[in-house]
Amino acid sequence: YESTFIISPEVPAEKVEELTAKAVKIIEDSKGIFKTAQQFGKKRFAYPINKLREGSYVYTEFSGSGETINALENFFKFNDLIVRFLTVKVEKKKVVAKKTAKTEPQAVVPQEAKTTNDGGKIK
C-alpha cells in the first residue's frame, strides 16, 4: 500500500517527524510491514482546503491487511493536524520478457494492392 497524508502548515518540523513516527508505529503495531517514508516538505495546494493554502506532505509505503489500513486511517481521521490523506493499494508490476530470437521481416504490401474483405480495392 501507499499512503500520503498532508499535515497543517503551522505544525513545526519536529511535530511532522513525530506524526510520521506515530503512523509508522501504528502500521507495525497492527501487524503491517513498514517499507519507507518520505517527507516532501511544504507544498502549495491547487485550491484552499479548510482555508489553508499549503501543507506538509508525507508519503509512506507499507504492506499489511485490512486491519492495518483501518488503524492507520482512523489515526488520520481523528487527528486534527492532518488535513487530508489517501491510501492506495499498489498492484505488483508484471514483468514481460522480450523476445530475443530474431524474427523474419514480413513483406510490405503497397497501399494500392491491399484489398478489403469483399474483394474490392482500398482507395
What pLDDT, in 10s, does the model give residues 90-99? 987 766 666 6
Cα gap 53→13, rounded to integer Å: 18
pLDDT at 103 over 60: no
CATH node for 11-88: 3.30.70.60
User: What share of the chain has pLDDT > 70, as a percent?
Assistant: 75
Give, for 68, the enclosing helix (H) or strand (E): helix 66-77
Q: Where are the domains of the chain?
A: 11-88
pTM: 0.72
Evaluated on CA atoms 21, 26, 29, 31, the torsion sign reads negative
Judge contact between 39 and 23, C-beta under 8 A: no
DSSP 23: H
Q: Within 10 Å of residue 112's Cβ, how many Cβ atoms?
A: 8
Q: Locate cell 510520521: which residue? A: 20
